[in-house]
């Protein structure tokens, strides 16, 4: 082979190699079965939904229907809890508060009503022992009577009964998260929305996410977001607290967010979509690895939002819909996740 031909071959090889590097990550995965399963699940998913899958710094699968796109803002109900728990951990990282601070430190009214021993950890894990109401649409509407978070939390202190000592019984509700939200307002002398924007939303470029409302702000269930925005949050957790090269949460805080705070015997009330799971700080533990640590965590919301992080396979999936969460929808989400799992190799210890 002449030198000229050899140089030409080398150039062609380099160009072909470069073009292969430019091929989208999606080419590594075959999501045809996932597409078929989604098409067969129209009844459960509804007419408008978004599904995003993220791995290794990229969106490897995206599906949306109708006018509902990854940029469409929608209420996310209890999926707000993960954001609020992360905000609390950001303040813990800064040394402004501790998970083991008693709420009476900044909310002394709770001491007067024998609730002073409740801690922030109890609040984030629904272990306050305070009576609660199931999270359903009627109770969400009823919450509109409050003019401020302060007013609502004052009522928790003065009018809600203690059902058990703190840390003993799990009752899923909006009570603990909203107490924690008010606690940090008093501790920092900043509004909850200001803190959320500064510590979580702006650093994660979640420009279409907020907790703003005409009524009392609702840390436990009042956020509006988009699939794209929420995936930014999930990617930060998946990357051990780092987003776009910037540390948002310490690795220790991320680990704490996914560490079980309950055992099955402690669960006195959980929504049907989460029955059988243990709770961490702001999220449910769907699966554990051989050591008992969380391997799949999720934070489902009443309005159909269901973000999940798979720590074994190192990916996140976000489901956004405009229909209420149901048992059928939960099973559909888990079935679709199972199909995704088949395409991604697990690496669990």
Tens digits of residue pLDDT in 126-173: 999 999 876 555 555 666 678 899 999 999 999 999 999 999 999 999
Token pair listed for 278: 């243990």
Q: Is the pLDDT of residue 37 over 60?
A: yes
Q: How confident is the model at residue 2 (pLDDT cuts 50, 70, 90)?
A: low
Q: How far is CA 316 from the centre of its chain?
A: 11
In this structure, is residue 207 part of a structural domain?
yes
Q: Order of strands across the sheet with 49-55?
A: 58-64, 49-55, 315-321, 306-310, 294-298, 284-288, 278-279
pLDDT of residue 138: 58
Q: Is the pLDDT of residue 225 over 90?
A: yes
pLDDT of residue 273: 86
The span from the CA of 20 to the CA of 135, in Å, is 50
Find out whether 44 and 328 touch, Cβ atoms under 8 Å.
Answer: yes
Q: What is the mean pLDDT of residues 205-223?
A: 91
Q: Is the pLDDT of residue 7 over 60?
A: no
In this structure, is residue 271 part of a structural domain?
yes
In this structure, is residue 23 part of a structural domain?
no
Find out whether 289 and 349 touch, Cβ atoms under 8 Å.
Answer: yes
137-141, 159-163, 213-217, 341-345: which has the minimum mean pLDDT? 137-141
In tens, the pLDDT along 40-87 reads 998 889 889 999 999 999 999 999 998 999 999 999 999 999 999 999
CA angle 76, 237, 200 (to 5 degrees): 60
The 10 Å Cβ neighbour count of residue 20 is: 9
In this structure, is residue 220 part of a structural domain?
yes
pLDDT of residue 10: 42
Percent with pLDDT over 90 in the chain: 77
The CATH number given to whatever domain includes residue 317 is: 3.40.710.10
Q: Which domain holds residue 308?
A: 29-341
The span from the CA of 160 to the CA of 153, in Å, is 10
Residue 321: its H or E element:
strand 315-321
Q: How many structural domains comprise the chain? A: 1
User: Collapsing DSSP states into helix, strand and coil, what is residue 56?
Assistant: coil
In this structure, is residue 186 part of a structural domain?
yes
Q: What is the mean pLDDT of residues 257-282?
A: 96
User: What are the residue ranges of helices labelled H in the chain?
Assistant: 3-21, 32-39, 42-45, 80-93, 109-112, 120-124, 137-142, 149-159, 175-188, 192-196, 227-238, 251-257, 327-341
Q: How confident is the model at residue 303 (pLDDT cuts 50, 70, 90)?
A: confident
In this structure, is residue 346 part of a structural domain?
no
**Mean model confidence pLDDT for the chain:** 90
In this structure, is residue 288 part of a structural domain?
yes
Find out whether 137 and 271 touch, Cβ atoms under 8 Å.
Answer: no
In this structure, is residue 348 part of a structural domain?
no
The model scores a pTM over 0.85: yes
The 10 Å Cβ neighbour count of residue 157 is: 22
Q: What is the mean pLDDT of residues 337-341?
A: 97
């Amino acid at each position: 082979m002449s030198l000229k031909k050899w140089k030409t071959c080398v150039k062609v090889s380099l160009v072909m190699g470069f073009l292969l590097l430019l091929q989208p990550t999606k080419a590594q995965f075959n999501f045809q079965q996932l597409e078929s399963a989604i098409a067969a699940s129209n009844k459960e998913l509804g007419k408008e939904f978004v599904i995003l899958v993220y791995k290794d710094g990229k969106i490897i699968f995206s599906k949306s229907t109708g006018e509902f796109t990854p940029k469409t803002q929608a209420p996310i109900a209890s999926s707000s809890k993960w954001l609020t728990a992360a905000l609390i951990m950001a303040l813990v990282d800064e040394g402004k508060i501790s998970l083991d601070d008693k709420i009476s430190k900044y909310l002394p009214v709770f001491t007067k009503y024998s609730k002073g021993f409740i801690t922030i950890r109890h609040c984030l894990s629904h272990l306050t022992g305070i009576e609660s109401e199931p999270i359903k649409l009627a109770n969400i509407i009823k919450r509109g009577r409050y003019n401020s978070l302060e007013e609502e939390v004052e009522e928790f202190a003065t009018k809600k009964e203690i059902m058990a000592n703190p840390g003993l019984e799990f009752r899923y509700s909006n009570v603990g998260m909203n107490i924690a939200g008010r606690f940090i307002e008093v501790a920092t002398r900043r509004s909850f929305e200001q803190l959320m924007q500064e510590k979580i939303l702006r650093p994660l470029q979640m420009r279409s996410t907020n907790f703003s409302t005409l009524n009392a702000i609702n840390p436990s269930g009042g956020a509006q977001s988009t699939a794209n925005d929420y995936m930014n949050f999930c990617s930060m957790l998946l990357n051990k607290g780092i987003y776009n090269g910037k540390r948002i949460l310490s690795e220790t805080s991320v680990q704490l967010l996914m560490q079980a705070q309950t055992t099955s015997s402690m669960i006195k009330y959980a929504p049907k979509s989460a029955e059988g799971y243990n709770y961490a700080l702001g999220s449910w533990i769907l699966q554990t690895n051989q050591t008992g640590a969380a391997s799949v965590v999720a934070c489902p919301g009443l309005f159909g939002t269901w973000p999940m992080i798979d720590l074994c396979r190192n990916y996140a999936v976000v489901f956004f819909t405009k229909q209420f969460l149901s048992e059928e929808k939960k099973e559909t989400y888990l079935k679709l996740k199972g199909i995704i799992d088949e395409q991604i190799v697990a690496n669990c210890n």
